[in-house]
A and B are shown apart, each in its own frame.
Chain A
Amino acid sequence: MNAVVWAVILGLGYVFGLFTLAYFADEDEKRGLRSPMDNHWAYSLSLGVYCSSWAFYGSVGRAATSGPEFLATYIGPTLVFLLAPTLISRLVSFSRAGGVTNVPDLIEALYGRRRILGTLAAILLVLGVTPYIGMQLKAVAHSFNYLTGQPSGPESHIDAAFWTAVSFAFFGVLFGARKLAAAERHTGLVTAVAFGSAIKLASFLALGVYITWGVGDGLTKLMAEAANDPRTRELLTLGGTDGFATSHWLTMCVLSSTAVLFLPRQFHLLAVENIRPRHIRRASWSFPLYLLAMNIFVIPVALVGVLHNTAGSADFFLINIPIENGNLHMAFIAFIGGFSAATSMVVVSSVALATVILNYLITPTVFRRWGELKMEGPLLWGKRCAIFGVVFLGYGFYRWIGEPHTLVNTGLMSFGAVFQLAPAIFLGLMWPGIKREGALVGLASGLAIWAYTIMLPGFVRADIFSSTLLTHGPFAIAWLKPEALFGLTGMDQWSHALVWSLLFNLGGAVVVSLIVSEEQNEAPLLSPAVGWVGKEETQEFLARFVGKEKAAEALAEVGSEAPPGVLVKAAESVLAGVVGTVSARMVLQGFLALPKSKAVEIIDVFGSVSSTLAQSREELERRLRELSVLYESSRMLSNSRDVAGFLSRILQLIKDEFGFDHLGVRLLDPRGKLVIRSRIGLDDDYAEATVMLPSRDTMFGRAFLDGAPVVVGDVADVPSSSHFELLKKSVDVTALIHAPMIHERKPIGVLMAYSTRGAIHFTDEFVSLFCALANQMAMAVVNAELYLEVHAYSQAMEEKVKQRTVQLQAANERLTEIDRLKTEFLSNVSHELRTPLTAIQSFSEILLKYPVADGAKRKNFANIINQEALRLTRMINDLLDLSKIEAGRMEMDIEHVDLARAVEKAVTAATPLFEEKEVVVEVKLETGLQQVRANEDRLQQILMNLLGNAAKFSPRQSSVTVRARKRGAFVVASVTDQGPGIQRDKPREIFERYKQQRDPGEKHAFGTGLGLAISRDLVEMFGGYIWVESPPGLGATFYFTLPIANANDGGDDPA
């Protein structure tokens, strides 16, 4: 197989390999895997796209003709990257905060949104960068032809360049416009670029070692030989025999230091693809290290090439030295290295440039005229066409203008163009006094000077214009000579152009800014305005740009009731990936401001936005957005009593609306410590480690103690402390704001928000809004806690009321029962009282009215009257006793009583009752019973009650037994009958007042039903206990106990 086929296979294989790598990196990211690009080495490698084939081939060529001068193009970037922690971090964080995706976006973000500046920057980039792309094609074509031994005529180069252009454009589309990406970052592309940078470095180092030691005789001998050879001797000093051209060196440093930041491919990888701010700080040494490694062998290779009289252009020593030494493998390695440098450069540049062209040049003009409703297809094809357009514009430059130009000169031409953007950007970032008009004048005049002093001579050299233009000036006006403007001579073309363009660009910007009055300046557009839109509407609108499927996918995670801020943010990120941030915002603003039916006019917004109207509308919409946050939060607050729930919902709202990824609320707990009660993005370790009393050592502590917000726009300004390090361990914080949560002039907590997207300028309006939110949350927290307290208290009260109600109900029932019993008792008592009274009345009437002659009869009558009167007395005594006991007025003396005697006395007294029924009374007392503590009369009363009871219920001819025995400190006495027993579930009820065992069949000959109740009260007054046992069918036994009297107690203390 010949070399042509091998070279083509290698080249295509390399790019397909790269594409596969990119594809899988994208897939991994979709699956949520951590990007392998998320480290600073990958970041610095991707920045290595700076080293295009100019660096790979051209540096050697430069070193072989002008010595170490070429190093200035790498010293410049090294110097500017030393400022990574300050200048570049600021640049990147500003870009990220503004959602900037390319340099014209950045300028728009800095100076407002009238698109003139952005469009100017876009034109500048297209004019400046396409030749550079053309030169990459040239480099690949030449190296291909050298490698394959093609006849090196212009025709064959042009053929090779054409096919290179076709394949590069194709891969540009494959990498950058396969579909409409709904994201700003392209992990796959970055992976491919970083890989390419690694390949070209490895290739160069391999070539360097091979040529220095394999072809040359090693470094020491090579240097000695070079020092003594007149051709190479001057290549080891700056300027050689002509002397050191300091202005040229400085110019190269300045141009390269801005190019490394603002070339479209550099800015894209530096700012848009930056994942973490700390990678930028690391790049301050790792990127210069890459540049150093890329250049370490350039001088030895150039020396070997010159000393060995290598054929062909010095630019292609890397290919030609191995070929002349018969080592085709090394030549192929060199080819792949140069090819990878060109590929990365062309692919990233063409995609970045195509985006700029689409967003700033095509979309506003074409779509404005068409007023298209469905944008998806046109946008995608527009981007693809733009990529092809950029690459073929480059090809055209090379084909018709560029052949006489070297790689380095064309590169410097690009650098010169990009440099014109630097004053506007740096002034915009650093000088508050800069005005839009100033930037516009500066940029326009810089562009004009560049075109006149750099581009025009380029056309002259390509024989497009007559060379008299250079030698005599236009219209023979000598001071307008493009390379000696205003008579400035004595320096090279680049320094000359730099001096004038810097003077006009910077000078114009500063002077005009100082002249323009304050009012004409307008605030930059940094945030999308929020109106009131629904999800369906937004999705329909998005579908016009990205197709239904993608629109639905993009809004899938947004709830149907989402606040407009969330919807607009989601829509913006989708649109930004398609038409760029600035266009996306303009389209969205148009969409938000106008009703659906006016969609045609929405597209119109690309071209014509009245500035004053837009300005006031922007202000209005910003206020509206802030108010909507306040409204939304107060709605949540008023609806909620669950503290944790509403805190986390409000944090989510702040996150969605203002883009803070890390938020927290600290509240004072009962121990007086500030504890994180709700958080987003802060980890457990941090939350636990920072439970502490408020102190001035911490920023949240200061906010709490001072009752004033703590605002840090850039944490680089904060002196380090142990607490702050603790925070940094958890969050890669770059800016933060803490607001005290104040309720009734007393702080109760702190609302904290941290940003990781770089430094932030917090406006006064935002700070006061944030404080208002914090205070609102404070009020809600206090209210919720009060509510919980009151709620708990009222629940306790309810519980108590319930208990009381139950108690009262029971008491009420008891009272009703007692009332009922009392009524019943009264009727019983009156009935009982009437019986003896009736007998007394009747017999006394008989005695009064009729002469009862029979003495025995009269005596009998008088006897009955006496008996009934006694019974009446007894009943009335019972009633009196009971009322005395109830009123607590029963008084009696407690003395030592002989129970046996009392029993004997009672039995004797009760004998008539028993004899009436022929009942036998047995008395079985334990011998030697001690005396008991009681009142003798009352003890008699108890015994009489029990015996009377027994007599009443005993059937005829049965027996009643009275027993007494000692049990511990008590004597237990009992009276047992053989009557019907107690037929109750609760035998104790028999001792209740007014309850009486009634036998319906029997006349109530005895008692009022109070006897047992009185007996119980009396026994208890003596310190004893009374109860009844009634086994079914065995009669009833009443027991009572009485305390045994001790010898030492007096026995006469009143109870």
Chain B
Amino acid sequence: MGTVPRRSVALFVVALLAFTPPVLTLMNIEPSEGGFAPLPVYIFTAWGVVIFLAWYLDRRKRR
């Protein structure tokens, strides 16, 4: 397997961990009185980071 496919598989594994129960359960926290809801914020942030990393890998491959 080439470098890029290997890295994309690594990213997949990291993302899998981020979005499955152990980590997700950790982040499953009741919202604060002030309206900060950790879980939705975590999911969307992590989602965005994963997309950014996928874009970064793809961009490196293109160069």
Chain A residues proximal to chain B, CB less than 8 Å = 68, 71, 75, 78-79, 81-86, 220-228, 233, 236-239, 244, 246, 249-250, 253, 281-282, 284-285, 288-289, 292, 296, 299, 715-720
Contacts and interface: CB of A to CB of B under 8 A. Distances in A.
Chain A interface main SS type: helix
B2 A719 contact: yes
B39 A238 contact: yes
26 contacts: A71-B43, A82-B11, A82-B54, A83-B8, A85-B61, A223-B36, A223-B37, A227-B35, A236-B31, A236-B37, A236-B39, A237-B28, A237-B31, A237-B39, A238-B28, A239-B28, A246-B24, A253-B19, A284-B54, A284-B57, A284-B58, A285-B52, A285-B58, A288-B51, A289-B51, A292-B51
B2 to A, nearest CB: 4
Which among B4, B8, B15 has the highest number of chain A CB atoms within 10 Å? Answer: B8
Contact of B35 (A68, A82, A223): A223
Interface of B: 1-5, 8-9, 11-12, 15-16, 19-21, 24-25, 28-37, 39-40, 43-44, 47-48, 50-52, 54-55, 57-58, 61
B24 A249 contact: yes
Given A68-B39, A284-B54, A292 B48 contact: yes
In the A-B complex, the 3 residue pairs with the closest CB atoms = A224-B35, A223-B35, A285-B54
Nearest to A291: B47
A82 B19 contact: no
B1 A717 contact: yes
A716 B28 contact: no
A249 B21 contact: yes
A237 to B, nearest CB: 5
Contact of A285 (B5, B30, B55): B55
**Chain A CB within 10 Å — which of B11, B19, B25 has the most?**
B19
A716 B31 contact: no
Contacts of A249: 20-21, 24
Contacts of A718: 2
Given A78-B47, A226-B35, 11 more contacts: A78-B50, A79-B19, A86-B5, A224-B35, A233-B30, A233-B31, A236-B31, A246-B25, A250-B21, A253-B19, A288-B51
Contact of A225 (B16, B35, B44, B55): B35
Given A79-B12, A86-B8, A249-B21, A717 B2 contact: yes
Nearest to A718: B2
A716 B2 contact: yes
B12 A82 contact: yes
B44 A296 contact: yes
Contacts of B47: 75, 78, 288, 292
Contacts of A253: 19-20
B34 to A, nearest CB: 6
Contacts of A281: 58, 61
Given A83-B12, A244-B24, A288-B51, A227 B40 contact: no
Contacts of B54: 81-82, 284-285, 288
Nearest to A234: B30
A732 to B, nearest CB: 12
B50 to A, nearest CB: 7
Contacts of A84: 8
Contacts of B36: 223, 227
B25 A299 contact: no
Contacts of A299: 40
Given A82-B8, A718-B2, A238 B20 contact: no
A16 B26 CA distance: 50
Given A71-B43, A223-B36, A227-B34, A79 B4 contact: no
Contacts of A288: 47, 50-51, 54
Contacts of A220: 35
